[in-house]
Structure 1
Amino acid sequence: MLLLVLLAALAGFWAWQRYQAFAGIPVHGIEAPAALLVERGDSLPVVLAKLRALGVRGGHEAEWRLLAREMGAAGRLQVGEYAIDPGMTPRDILAALRDGRVVRHAFAIIPGRTFRELRAALARESLLEQEIEDLDDGAVMAALGQPGQHPEGRFLPETYHYTRGDSDLDLLRRAHAAMQEALDAAWATRSDDSVLGSPDELLTLASIVEKESGIASERPRVAGVFERRLRIGMKLQTDPTVIYGLGSAYDGNIRRRDLDTDTPYNTYTRGGLPPTPIAMPSAGALEATANPIDDGALYFVALGDGSGRHAFSRTLAEHNAAVVRYLRRYRAAREADAGTAAGTGPESP
């Protein structure tokens, strides 16, 4: 009897040691990160079968069940996508499933992009459920609870995280709410003498400012130019609005005939702001437009030195001189590029 008790104790100790080793040693068979998808209704045996299909080796089902009960994970596996990485132990895996540590994917809305470009980017996001694919723009806005609202400019550019199972409509809903919050905040801090009459006008002008300059420190000056033009009744005369009005007809080059062709968005032929935003402005562009710099400038043109910066002028004569300087730099750069391509540039052997 003593011998049997001793053998039973040894067997129990051996089983306990084996169980502890199973729970705390990395699983075998995972050489690279893998994705485990837990779907609604999946039981622990189903999840274990999915882990085996991924290549996970080690441990009997009874050991997994015992560990799940010990950790309080049995019956509490949360739906979602999980990263199964090399080095994870069974305890790590069950803890992730119990606590819902699902994989979070990132999607960036780029400042200055149009709603058409945003829709195309969402369509390429294969991990998002596609709900707007067959909807026109108006139907999309209605699905967001904004019937009749033009979609352009209504989604805040930033990086959004989502989990598998989220839809493109879910992401748009969050981006729309974020833009409304950013717009309200900018409108609340606008200059007392602002010429803008509504948050929608602020959004529209901010979209133009976003397209005109990618330099954050310049945007208040760019906004100031447009604010002064609006105040004195001068046309905005900004190329990005013309390009937006051309739509799919724009081929990458803007010509004199494009500037002369009237559309609702052509600020060379029409005064005031265009009827809607022309892109999605960043929070920085909204803030700059709400608080423009008043330095008296009415014109600006690119420096042409590759910095992306602009020369600002108060008079047309100053502006024309700045344009001449820009054209001189532009032509010199073109000639240098042509010379390098022909093998005669200064860097050529």
Structure 2
Amino acid sequence: MIKVGIAGVGFMGWMHYLAYRERDDIQVTALCTRNQAKLDGDWTSIQGNFGPPGEQVDTSAMSKYQEVEALLANPELDVIDVCLPPHLHKSVCLAALEAGKHVFCEKPLALNAEDCDALVAAAEGAGLQLLVGHVLPFMPEFEFLYKAVQQGTYGKLLGGRFERVISDPLWLKDFYDMEKVGGPLIDLHVHDAHLIRLLFGMPTRVTSQGRLRDDTVEYCNTLFHFEDSSLVVSATSGVLNQQGRPFMHGFEVHFEKATVQFQFAGYLDEPETNQLKVLVPGEEGQVIRPNVGEWDPVKSFSEEISEVVQSVQTGIASPLLSGQLARDAVMICQRQTDSVRSGESVTI
């Protein structure tokens, strides 16, 4: 049984806990938070934009700490699950690796690529796993897309466009702070940067045009350039200052033998889903609507945890959650910021 200590009991800590609870090969045996009520099991204050609200949790058998140093000193723990604010990721992940623990860190790995590089090097030097919680490939529509690419189901990958736009998160006072949260690109678009890197490889250059809030990118459109100049890949990312549609994401990806598309928009009155479709070319054409089921957030996070288990047991980094892949996603976001600020294409 792999034993996990969760550092940070907020929304993501709650979602991870629910995923661990579904499994019999990994178990949460320790918690770290300065909130005494949460240590005592009252998680009812936790709310998020998806998944079930927090509830009472039986923490009686868990080791409980208010300081990270005490958590890391627990000799029974195999993995530290870091669900703390992004500006704390580097220091806590580094300390966990130095304490001989595998690390599973919620995205982003860190706020800049240099800090990510330091963490990747530390993990490699210690012979430990550094895994990052990019859950998008475990959501049904995105999982379908990833498998189609991996299996070559529709032939050569030609390109695609990706969207991830939210309303202004007025409740997050540090959202646009590049030193604490990272702004819309590092906090939000990093999902799609990770997916683009996963599907198409590392871009060589980005061309981004957008709007700044002070010196932070608020909204932008990006064209990604690759060594294969025939790939046409773009993304729209960021914040629109209207509150009628709190969240929207989707994709349209082009293959030699099909186009795969999906979009979800969470409007205030009711959500709308442009369900997953496969458009097949030909004189008459064809529309296929694969049944991938309803999205169950806990199931997606449980599948993510399965990758963590496999990586810890085998010593081989997950191709979906590796620290290097997460580092590349952060680097892409950094270069997009540079491009918006400069008004020029930027080499990665």
Asked whether the two chains share a fold, i.e. TM above 0.5, the reply is no
Higher helix share: 1
TM-score under structure 2 length normalisation: 0.24
Structure number with greater Rg is: 1
Higher strand share: 2
